[in-house]
C-alpha cells in the first residue's frame, strides 16, 4: 500500500539510494542538480508535497535530482518520501507544466511577470557575474531569489515600465533596457535621464556621433538582421546600452558601437553629468 512520511534525508542516505535504487530513470541534468544544491546551501529548501518516491519494488521513480542535490550540497534536508507507488504511475509523473519565475511573481501580485522575472535574473547576473556568459548552470535563479531580488531592488518595477517603452522604440531587449535604466539611475541619481530617454525613443534632433543615435541605430540594425544576432541578446544589448550611456554622460562622441568577444561588462561611469547631453560635436 502506498504511504508517505516526512524524513530527514542525509547526504549519505541520498548517495545510497541513488546507488542502489536508481536503476531506471531519465538522464540526470547536472544544471538542475547544481541549481537545487545551491538553493539547499543558501537555506532556501522548503518542505512541500514534492519529494522522493519509490515503487512497489522499492526502486526510485521520482526525486533523483533532489537526491543528487542533497548529496552535492552535503546538507541533510526534510523531505516527503513515498513508498509503494504503482509502477503504472511512472507514465504520468512530471507531466504538468513547471511553475516559472513569472508564475512566482504573479502569485505575489506583481504585474509584467514575464519581463520582470527575466530582468531580475539579468540584474542578478549583472551584479554577481558581470564578466561571464548568461547561460549554463550558474545562470539559474530560483523563485525565492527572484522575490528577494525584487525586495532588495524595488526600483526594478519602474525600470520595467521604462524598459518596455525604450524596447518598443529601438528594439533592444526589455531585459537590457530595464537593467540599464535601473543601474544608471541607482549609480548616478543626480543625472537627469529625461534627455537620454527621449533621445533614444524619438531620435529627434540627434547628430551623427551622439551616443543615443549610435545606440538607436545599432539596435535597429540588429533587429533588421543587418548584424549577427545571438540566441540570447540581453547581455550584449546591456553592454551596448552602458557603453553608449557612459559616452553620453561624459559628453563624448561615439560613432560606432562594437564589442570584442571577451569584453568585460562596463561599469556605470562616475564622470560628467552636469550637462551630459552637451556633446563635443
DSSP letters for the chain: --EEEEEEE-HHHHHHHHHHH--S-PPP-HHHHHHHHHHHHTT-----S--EEEETTS-EEE-HHHHHHHHHHT--EEEEEEEEE-GGGGGGTT-SPPPPHHHHHHHTT-SSHHHHHHHHHHHHHHHH-TTS-S-SGGG---HHHHHHHHHH-TTHHHHHHHHHHHHHHH---HHHHHHHHHHHHHH-TTS--HHHHHHHHH-TTPPTT-HHHHHHHHHHHHHTTSS---S--HHHHHHHHHHHHHHHHHT---------TTPPPPPPP-S--SSTT----
Say which CATH architecture domain 3-92 belongs to: Alpha-Beta Complex (3.90)
Predicted TM-score of the model (pTM): 0.69
- Residue 198: pLDDT above 80? yes
Q: How confident is the model at residue 98 (pLDDT cuts 50, 70, 90)?
A: low
- Of 91 and 248, more confident: 248
* pLDDT at 137 exceeding the cut of 80: no
What is the mean pLDDT of the segment spanning 12-32? 85
Per-residue pLDDT tens digits for 219-243: 999 888 755 555 458 999 999 999 9
Q: Assess whether pLDDT exceeds 70 at residue 136.
A: no
User: What is residue 268's predicted lDDT score, i.e. its pLDDT?
Assistant: 96
Given pLDDT bands bounded at 50, 70 and 90, which one contains residue 280? very low
Q: What is the pLDDT of residue 96?
A: 47
Determine the pLDDT at residue 129. Answer: 86
pLDDT tens digit sequence for 102-123: 877 887 788 888 999 999 999 9
Mean pLDDT for the chain? 87
pLDDT confidence of 200, banded at 50, 70, 90? very high
- Going from N- to C-terminal start, the domains of the chain cover 3-92, 101-250
Amino acid at each position: 500500500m502506498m504511504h508517505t512520511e516526512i524524513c530527514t534525508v542525509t547526504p549519505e542516505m541520498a548517495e545510497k539510494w541513488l546507488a542502489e535504487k536508481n536503476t531506471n530513470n531519465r538522464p540526470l541534468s547536472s544544471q538542475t542538480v547544481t541549481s537545487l544544491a545551491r538553493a539547499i546551501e543558501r537555506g532556501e529548501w522548503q518542505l512541500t508535497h514534492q519529494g522522493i518516491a519509490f515503487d512497489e519494488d522499492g526502486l526510485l521513480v521520482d526525486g533523483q535530482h533532489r537526491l543528487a542535490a542533497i548529496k552535492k550540497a552535503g546538507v541533510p534536508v526534510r523531505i516527503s518520501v513515498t513508498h509503494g507507488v504503482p509502477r503504472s504511475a511512472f507514465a504520468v509523473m512530471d507531466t504538468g507544466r513547471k511553475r516559472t519565475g513569472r508564475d512566482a511573481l504573479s502569485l505575489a501580485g506583481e504585474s509584467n511577470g514575464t519581463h520582470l522575472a527575466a530582468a531580475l535574473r539579468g540584474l542578478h547576473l549583472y551584479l554577481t557575474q558581470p564578466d561571464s556568459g548568461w547561460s549554463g548552470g550558474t545562470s539559474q535563479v530560483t523563485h525565492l531569489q527572484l522575490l528577494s531580488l525584487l525586495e532588495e531592488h524595488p526600483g526594478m518595477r519602474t525600470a520595467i515600465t521604462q524598459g518596455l517603452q525604450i524596447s518598443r522604440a529601438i528594439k533592444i531587449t526589455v531585459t537590457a533596457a530595464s537593467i540599464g535604466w535601473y543601474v544608471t539611475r541607482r549609480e548616478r541619481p543626480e543625472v537627469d535621464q529625461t534627455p537620454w530617454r527621449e533621445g533614444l525613443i524619438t531620435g529627434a534632433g540627434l547628430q551623427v556621433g551622439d551616443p543615443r543615435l549610435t545606440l538607436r541605430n545599432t539596435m535597429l540594425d540588429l533587429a533588421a538582421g543587418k548584424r549577427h544576432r545571438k540566441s540570447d541578446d540581453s547581455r550584449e544589448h546591456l553592454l551596448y546600452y552602458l557603453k553608449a550611456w557612459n559616452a553620453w554622460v561624459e559628453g563624448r562622441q561615439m560613432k560606432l558601437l562594437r564589442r570584442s568577444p571577451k569584453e568585460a561588462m562596463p561599469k556605470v561611469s562616475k564622470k560628467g553629468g552636469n550637462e551630459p547631453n552637451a556633446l563635443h560635436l
